[in-house]
Chain A
């Protein structure tokens, strides 16, 4: 991608007039395995942020067959309008029919910004659509801003998170972006928001339906292994020494609802944890409320996958480990001493709080 700033300013009046025809911030509401993917709701957060800066409307695009039932939720979570594109050929994701249907909607309605989740199917779709409607696509962004020219700043980590790039799409519309899951928090549903539904009929010909989906197999994740939804993650590195010692992390995690145990790439390569529990550049990107980094030094490839966590607690014997540079709290010490103490101390505090509650209840009852 280019780095010359002379290319970022558009002055030609004809181009400016064309760009002005594109309005509105769109999100791709992806349905997979009969539900909205969690990143779809997260995109609405990002879209609302952008729309509030540009003074535009937020629309969600629902593609599929028999998917109207998801429109209400999208409205409640922040979509001012929901475009519904239904067709038998859109029953499950196939790249050709989906690309054509979505491209027809873009050409007809001309959005200024179009956000997709950076999961596999949506990235695939966004790429081919960008090719068809001849526009730019910024991959796997973690943050969006709007600059003083009203252009979308699409911020993404490069080289495994070693640097951040700001990507602009100055002369083409829509400005298309895929957003890494976990980068934004899904807005809470607001029951006072009303659904505005607009149906769109895509015209699909035989050449748009060359791909036939013959089998779709999906596994549901054990909630204790769903890192992208976990509110608390206890993550371990090579300091754990062996597979069995991850039991210590499990005991700590079990004190929290919606918690999961995870690990670094080295740990997964050792076979101490399965690969779907890997956090980092080549694993999952997570943003829980609380992230315990235990016995892991904090290689940049790991940090890029967890640095958006709200609170990071590092436990490491090495005071110079890079993990301490990004942690909210840190304990320098032997994890085999610290983790059991920590588990015990939280338990003690919980039971203390419970007793206080009961006492205060009793005293109320006494009056």
Chain B
């Protein structure tokens, strides 16, 4: 029996650990960096699958990006997600968090949903903003940093535990609602062999900007044009002025260091 409709917005990101700086210009080398499913989104998929396993339902993963981002959706399907949808159009390119959330909301509004489950943040932009902004456009409550959720299906009510830097909160929140998932929720599962087979065969639905306009989207709000924020400049981190390095006899080095610190009134 299908009970819950769960939507998981995901993102394909460059594998940040593979990014290197050009040794001469100190600029970021973007070419040849592999793309992966945002690691935080795996926790969102996990949370969605646990809800599905408990209550029954359908999990749909949605992404916005170039067509190659279908691979991220296939990864979700290999984990157990039922359907994949990609919003792909040059008009969506260079969207900031506001425009991304808007664009996702245009599609999500056209399908039934009880829960929208997001990753805590993406490892490239690290803003953690798309979740709350998306909830705003969908007109539903949202809860960030969720480490546990209990659902009362008949009352359409949840009890959620949210992890903070210095403690936690317990909130009661009616659904439909959106939540972002903290690592404390639990380790995400690994894809299975049969999952991979399913992912390979899966039909991924593709929607263009024109499709979204037909669904009621305002093209003025897509991509670069629709983004309130712009990045005119990107530069390498500033180099600190070169410091003093003491080498040789340890005792001698330590004395020089303490002398220098004393001159700055630091010891």
Contacts and interface: CB of A to CB of B under 8 A. Distances in A.
Contacts of B245: 319, 324, 327, 329-332
B144 interface: yes
B243 A333 contact: no
Contacts of B237: 157, 161-164, 304, 307
B173 interface: yes
B89 interface: no
Contact of B235 (A124, A164, A216, A333): A164
Contact of B142 (A128, A163, A324, A334): A128
A338 B257 CA distance: 11
Interface in B2-25: 14, 16, 19, 21
A218 B166 contact: yes
Contacts of B173: 210-212
A8 interface: yes
Contacts of B208: none
A307 B240 contact: yes
Nearest to A210: B141
A197 interface: no
A323 B168 CA distance: 35
A334 B250 CA distance: 8
B28 A163 contact: yes
B234 A135 contact: no
Interface stretch (B47-55, B57-65, B79-87, B95-103): B95-103
B111 interface: no
Interface string B233-267: 11111111011111100110111011011101011
Given A137-B129, A338-B253, A165 B231 contact: yes
Contacts of B250: 331, 333-334, 337-338, 341
B227 interface: yes
A136 B257 contact: no
Interface stretch (A61-69, A70-78, A166-174, A356-364): A166-174
Nearest to B142: A95
Interface string B106-135: 000000000000000001111111011101
Interface in B221-235: 224, 227-235
A329 B227 CA distance: 44
Contacts of B247: 319, 331-333
B232 A94 contact: no
B232 A327 contact: no
A139 interface: yes
Contacts of B136: 99, 128, 131-132
Contacts of B211: none
A329 B243 contact: yes
A172 B253 contact: no
A341 B254 contact: yes
B125 A158 contact: yes
Contact of A346 (B128, B144, B258): B258
Contacts of A124: 128, 132, 142, 144-145
A134 B27 CA distance: 33
A120 B171 CA distance: 16
A215 B159 CA distance: 11
A137 to B, nearest CB: 6
A95 B243 contact: no
A95 to B, nearest CB: 6
A341 B251 CA distance: 7
A176 to B, nearest CB: 9
A164 B171 CA distance: 37
A172 B99 CA distance: 13
B32 interface: no
A2 interface: yes
Contacts of A7: 224, 230
B203 to A, nearest CB: 32
B164 to A, nearest CB: 5
B187 interface: no
Contacts of A327: 243, 245
B232 A8 contact: yes
A120 B165 contact: yes
A131 B229 contact: no
A140 B172 contact: no
B128 to A, nearest CB: 6
A89 interface: no
Given A2-B231, A131-B136, A290-B266, A162 B28 contact: yes
B229 A136 contact: yes
Contacts of A20: none
A333 B98 CA distance: 50
Contacts of A95: 132, 141-144
Nearest to A7: B230
B28 to A, nearest CB: 5
28 contacts: A1-B230, A2-B229, A3-B234, A93-B169, A119-B165, A135-B228, A161-B237, A162-B19, A163-B28, A163-B236, A164-B234, A213-B170, A214-B171, A216-B167, A218-B164, A218-B166, A219-B166, A219-B167, A289-B266, A300-B21, A307-B237, A311-B261, A332-B246, A334-B250, A338-B254, A342-B258, A345-B254, A346-B258
Interface of B: 14, 16, 19, 21, 27-28, 94, 96-98, 101, 123-129, 131-133, 135-137, 141-145, 159, 164-174, 224, 227-240, 242-247, 250-251, 253-255, 257-258, 260-262, 264, 266-267
Interface of A: 1-5, 7-8, 32-33, 92-96, 99, 119-121, 123-124, 126-128, 130-132, 134-140, 157-172, 210-221, 255, 289-290, 300, 304, 307, 311-314, 319, 324-334, 337-338, 341-342, 345-346, 349-350
Given A5-B232, A95-B141, A119-B165, 12 more contacts: A3-B234, A95-B143, A123-B128, A123-B144, A130-B129, A131-B137, A162-B21, A214-B172, A217-B167, A221-B166, A325-B240, A331-B247
